[in-house]
Structures are given as structure tokens and as C-alpha cells.
A and B are shown apart, each in its own frame.
Chain A
Amino acid sequence: MKLHTKMMQRLTSLWTSGITRASLGLAILCGMAPEALAGGKRWGPVPFASDFGYRFEDLFWLITWLCVGSFSIVVIMILIPSVRDRYKPGRKAHFDHGASLKDKRLATVISAATFLVLDAWVLVIAMTDLREAWWNIPESEEAGVYEVEVLAQQWAWNFRHKGADGKFGTADDILQMNELTVPNGRSVSFQGTSKDVIHSLFIPAMRFKKDFNPGDINSVWFKPITAGNYTILCAELCGYAHYQMFGELHVLESDTFDNWAADASELGVAAYDSEDTEARWAWDWKE
């Protein structure tokens, strides 16, 4: 046999062995881990900027590390017997169906433990987060709640603010398209619907996502804690230009925001055409 054919065979057998592949995978994972832990740019979600963002962050990393942990255990439990019990001349195979009472008990305990540790743990945290944060939409009467109406369409986001008079559907409403300006440190409460198909308002930095459906009004909220500019996306495939349906969220400090809102409301009045009833789409805030 030629030398290079032999070498190729060696290499092939090396590659096809589970040990090589598993250790390669582990090496890659280990290489990724420091960057992921340090919150690097390439790995993990964008830094959060809303007050319930840490809940998402905690849950996300809990699930990630639980998966990494349980995957490692499975890999190790495959590796140990495949190394320990590998072929040796004269060794005889032992067959076992795992049907003894001892085996059944062990399997039951492991399954129950897996469910309680992995699923129930995550489920309890997730339900607590939903109750205390995402579904805990602030009431209108609460002080400092800033309300915005959203009308999604193919392929743009329409936002409506109350303007100076504190009412929706009036001349001084602030209308924005693909751009949303909100004050920092105040709860921003959305009610939204769609003109045509299902869209989903997604602001990754604020850690929320909500579907807006035609003919129905859905609510969602967040409370920004860091001023800055963030991306608004559509997270529901809504047609050909879905990929172009994005906007920008500006979170302004309260002084700047007051300046902005006063100017915006004044220009809203200047742009208001009282005869053009076709152009209006506001609704009364649903309690």
C-alpha cells in the first residue's frame, strides 16, 4: 500500500472516531466561553436597556448553561463506556436489557430529577417573570406612564403620541413613522394593531416582542433605563419587504424629551388637516 493512502486512512479513522470529534467540539465551546461570559459583541444578545431586561438576561443564560451542563453530562456518559469498554482481544460482550427493578428505579429518578431541575426550574422562573414583568402592564392612572399607539402596516411602523392635550385622536397628536421617541426612566405602554397582516413589534434591546393583529388591539410595555438609539424590528414574516421593516427607537433624557415633545406637538398642529378625516386612525385607550 502506498504511503499517502495509508496516511489518508489514518486521518479518516481519526476523524470518524467520536473522541476526536467530541474533543474538537468541546475545544470550540471552551474557546467561545470566555467571550460569551465577558458579554462580548459576537456572542449573546445585545446589552439590555429596559428595567425588566435583567430577567430575560438571567433566564437566557440559565437556560443556556443548563443546556451546556446537561449536554456535557450526556457526552461524558457516552465517552466513558466507549473508551473503557472498547474492543480488546479476548474481551466478551455483556448484554443487558436494563429491565431490572434497580434499572427502572434509576431511570425514574433520573427522569424526575431532569424534569424538576431543568423544566420546572425554568418554568417557575419564566412564569414569575411573565406575571411580575411582561404581563404587568402599568395602568393609565399610574404616575409617569407614557402611552403610545402603534399601527403596523406593510411595511412600516406608525406611532401616535398623545401630544400636549393628553388625548389621542386630536390635532396636536405626534405622528411618527419608523421612528419612536420616548422619555428615559418612564414606563412606556403600547397599544397596537395592524392594517393588513400580522406584524410583531420587536425591540431587542428592550427585551420584548409583541404581535399586532388586524382587527384587534394588543398591549405591551417596557421601561427604558438607558438613553440611546435602538433598533425596532418586525419579528413576524409579513410579506416581501419584511426584512426592510425596521425603525429606530430614540430614548431621550427627560429634559431633551420635553423639548422634543413640545416641538413635535406644535408641528403636529401645523400639519393637521381638519378636512382630511380619511387620514385618522386613533382609538380610545383600552383599559
Chain B
Amino acid sequence: MTSETSMRRSTTLIACLATLAFAALASFRGDSAPAEATLEEHAEEQAADEHGAPAEAEKPHMRAPIGVDLYVREDAWLRAPGPEWFKKQSDLQPGRFTFNEEGGDGEGEWVDAQNVYRLIYDEEEDVYAYWSWAGPEQLTRGRQDFLQFCSSCHGIDGDGYGRSGQWLRPSPRSFHQSNFKFTKVIQPLPTDAALMRLIKRGLEGTPMLPWALSDEQLTDIIQYIKYLSPEGEGWRDPFTGVGDVVESGEDTWVGKEEYAIERGKRLYHDPSGANCALCHPGYVNPSALGKLLGDDSVKARESYYLPVLKDSAYEVQGQPVKIMPPDFTWHQVRAGTTTQDLFETIASGIKGTAMPQWKGALTDEDLWALAHYVESLINDYKGKPDARAEFMKGLREAK
């Protein structure tokens, strides 16, 4: 035996012994030292403490992305906006659509560079509805991008139970519920353009970031999100309206902002006006409310300077959750803080929450006034703890 061979053998022997020793050490540590309580275990213990029963072992958030099907093998007819939208788009971009009439009763299809839209008569429901077609290739692309970019929060199945979405409030949207809070549309469902705008801008103060994806990717993802609607609901329901972002028009208060803020302040607190202070905090001292509104019979609710929680219309893990109307001097407003953003949010309302659509209930002039007032609250007090503390002191003290 050469010295080289014996050396090699002894090296192998040492390596084997080291491995064995390491394995023994590892198993010994595993036996003697109890594993530190993980976050999940702790959460379970906590839940068990409070309710007397252990929490569910298997949470929907805990699914691992193993063996996930990357392909969509079916096509889908999804709701498209109505005839006004086609007319508006044709006016904006003449020649975008070509119309192929089929039959005499107005049925036919509009074709543009990306898609085919079709007016179909639903015999069962006795209703005409506009639909667009999404093919398996597009849905597959959408699903793959969705898995890459969206599924960590919105879940592998798009049900809002992603691993990063656990403990998250506001919770990520479930695309099985066809409820979109901040798309700023009057109709129940948004157009592709409205959804794309939301995804590109993100929601401030949440992990819904401004997504820097290409328009093609976003279009595919949006078709896939729509495809996730259950049969007969949302994007697959012939009765649901699909609309574009609410039109804001011109700000009617340019150059007269202080009057707008004054008017907005009255509307905000007036029970026969917008009555925002019913859920959002009131920003006047209760004793000064009568003077502001010129009506001494108006009484402020309890804890006037705090927001009131409201139930959501949508569900998270099978239950409605509480939605907090933001305190504008404190919380981050999700859908933008410019006057126009605030106008659009107030005008269209926030779907699935207690925030109703105000367009129609108030004139545009009043909506702009409210937007100016809310903007002034944000500018004056948000992120300025001293100024806000001084302001709140005046609200809390009974006069």
C-alpha cells in the first residue's frame, strides 16, 4: 500500500467520523433542547387562551406552492363595459374598433387590436350583455405572472390567503368575491383601465405597491383576476355593470380654496349634509358644532374625535372584518392625497365598506369642497405630532 492511498483512506475515515459526530450532535440537540416556540405555535396558544379552544392547525395561509398547476386550459367570456364605453373609446381613438354585425337584433362583435368584445343575448336571464373573450394562452400568461408577483399576498388561488397576507389588515383582496375597494368607479366593477391604474399606482400605506410591470403583463394579469370570479358572479354575471373611473371635471373652487374648505367643513359635520363625522372623526369641539352649523339642536355622537369601526360587506376567512374610517389627521389615505384623488374617492365611494358613493347625492361643487377640506386636514396635521396634539386638545376639552 502506497502512502498516498493510506492517506486518502484515513482522510475518508476522518470525514465519515466527523459526519457521524455532527449527526449525533444535531440529534442530541434536537432531543434535549425543546424547539423554540415558533410564531404560529405562539399564535395558536394565544388563540387557545382567549377562546378556550385550540385554533385550527391548518391555516389557508400555510399552503406551499408545491405542485401548483401553471397552466389554464380553458377560455372565458368575461363582462365588458356597456355601449357608452365603446362609444367613448371610439370618440377618443377613432377607428379603434371594427364592428361586425351578426343578425338583425343589434348582436355583433367589436374587434380591436387586443380583444374581441361581443354583445350576447342571455336567453336564461333575458338580458343583453357585453362580453370580452380571454383565451387559454392569455390566461396562462396571466396566471404565471400572478403567481410570481401577486400570490405571496393574494394567495396561490387568488383567494386572499397568501403567506404574506396573514395577520395583514386591511387584508389582501380575494378575487373570488369581485369586490374592489379603491378602483374609483361608480359601477360595481371596474374597467381594465381602472384596474390597471390602481395596480400601477398601488395603495399607499399598504404592501400593495406601485407595480412597475408592462401594460401587456398587467392586461394578462387583469384578465386572469377577472377569470377567478365564480360562475354567475362578478365578471361572469350578465347583470353587473362595468364602468370607468368617475369623471372629476374641473375643480370649481380654483382661487377660492379657503371658501371651499369652509364649505367642506360644514358639509363634513352637517347631519343633513354629507355627515362624514358619523363614522370618520369630527374635527370640531362638540360644543362648537351648533355654532358651526347654525343649529343648536345638532348633537355630536360619543367620542366625537375618534373614528367608528364599521363592518365590511366582504368576508375574510368567512367573516366580515371591521373597517376603520381613516382619521385624516393621522392615517394614510390609500388612494391618493391630491384634491382630484380625494374627489374621485369620495365621489365613487369605497366598495364593500360603509363609505357610499357620493356622486349624485351631492353636487360636484360640494364634492370638490369636501376634497379641499380633507386635503387641508391632511396637509395641516398629518405627520405633525405637535400641531395635531394642540389641535386635538382643543377638540377634547369641553367648552
Contacts and interface: CB of A to CB of B under 8 A. Distances in A.
A63 to B, nearest CB: 35
B163 A273 contact: no
Given A244-B209, A263-B392, A278-B316, A154 B47 contact: no
Contact of A240 (B149, B205, B210, B327): B149
B163 A196 contact: yes
Nearest to B167: A281
Given A195-B167, A263-B392, A155 B321 contact: no
B3 interface: no
A156 B206 contact: yes
A273 B321 contact: yes
Contact of A259 (B50, B51, B386): B386
Contact of A263 (B168, B309, B319, B388): B388
A260 interface: yes
Nearest to A176: B205
B1 to A, nearest CB: 35
A39 interface: no
Contacts of B306: 266-267, 270
A30 interface: no
A77 interface: no
A217 B163 CA distance: 18
Contact of A216 (B36, B47, B316, B322): B36
Interface in A149-196: 151, 153-156, 158, 169, 177-178, 193, 195-196
B166 A195 contact: yes
B43 interface: yes
B163 A195 contact: yes
A215 interface: yes
B148 A267 contact: no
A270 B303 CA distance: 10
Given A276-B321, A279-B169, A281-B43, A156 B386 contact: no
A196 B164 contact: yes
Given A153-B164, A283-B39, A271 B51 contact: no
B242 to A, nearest CB: 29
A283 B42 contact: yes
A259 to B, nearest CB: 4
Contacts of B148: 240
A259 B166 CA distance: 31
Contacts of A255: 386
Contact of B324 (A215, A256, A270, A280): A270
Interface string B297-325: 00000010011110000001101011010
Interface string B325-359: 00100110000000000000000000000000000
A276 B50 contact: no
Interface in A258-287: 259-260, 262-264, 266-267, 270-271, 273, 275-281, 283-284
B89 interface: no
Contacts of A271: 307, 309, 322, 324
B392 A177 contact: no
A280 B43 contact: yes
B330 A256 contact: no
B206 A177 contact: yes
A196 B155 CA distance: 13
Contact of A276 (B38, B153, B163, B169): B169
B385 interface: yes
B309 A270 contact: yes
B374 to A, nearest CB: 17
B46 interface: yes
B321 A277 contact: no
A263 B330 contact: yes
B271 to A, nearest CB: 21
Interface of A: 151, 153-156, 158, 169, 177-178, 193, 195-196, 214-217, 239-241, 244, 252, 255-257, 259-260, 262-264, 266-267, 270-271, 273, 275-281, 283-284
Interface of B: 36, 38-39, 42-43, 46-47, 50-51, 55, 148-149, 152-153, 163-164, 166-169, 205-207, 209-211, 303, 306-309, 316-317, 319, 321-322, 324, 327, 330-331, 385-386, 388-389, 392
Given A260-B389, A271-B307, 16 more contacts: A156-B206, A156-B207, A241-B209, A244-B210, A255-B386, A260-B385, A263-B330, A263-B385, A270-B303, A270-B306, A270-B307, A271-B324, A278-B317, A279-B169, A280-B46, A281-B167
